[in-house]
Amino acid sequence: WTRDSRFFYYSDLAADEYGLTNVLIQVDMQDGSLETLYEGSVADQGLSLSFPVCSPTENMLVVSAQTNLKVPGKRLYALNLDDLSLSMILDDLSKVPGFYAWSADGRQVVFQVYTPAAPDQESEIWVWDRASGETQKLVTGGSAPQWGEEVDS
């Protein structure tokens, strides 16, 4: 959901005359309309987007993208919903990011990373800082990270 609760986003497979297409859809809750923001042909090994998560403070979301279906790894992007520009968060196709969550102030995204080629390797927890654009590994051995709520003292 966007911060004003007007839109929500999801990814799906859609059939067209060329076969299956992976799409990122925006749903407008005011008028019920659907808009395709991005699409990629599965037959052409094109863009496969999944798991969009909206920022709590800005008009953007985080989404993972499998840019080549023959390679199991995924990239992680921040998508600016005003101009549909993409900012790279994680660009390592040997890894698969998942379980991403925005901090309450929208400044950081925490996410889990695993390596498909090393199934016995423990997952890692990474964080992306929006202001600096830097991504770093925090710990090895964690899974499904989430931000806690701030507690007033």
Specify the pLDDT at position 45: 54
Q: List the chain pLDDT tens, one digit each, 153 residues.
A: 888 899 999 998 877 776 677 889 999 999 999 999 887 765 555 567 889 999 999 999 999 988 777 788 899 999 999 998 889 999 999 999 999 999 999 999 999 999 998 888 999 999 999 999 999 999 999 899 998 876 565
Collapsing DSSP to helix, strand or coil, 109 comes out as strand
Residue 135's pLDDT is what? 97
> What does pTM read for this prediction?
0.86
Report pLDDT for 89: 97
Cα(106)–Cα(32) distance, integer angstroms = 27
Q: What is the pLDDT of residue 23?
A: 85
Q: What is the pLDDT of residue 138?
A: 96
**Cβ-count burial of 146 within 10 angstroms (0-12 exposed, 13-18 middle, 19+ buried)?**
exposed
Contact 111, 95 (CB under 8 A): no
Q: Give the tens place of pLDDT for each residue, 80-106.
A: 999 988 899 999 999 999 999 999 999
Contact by Cβ (8 Å): 112, 143? yes
What pLDDT is recorded for position 2? 87
Structure confidence at residue 42 (pLDDT) = 58
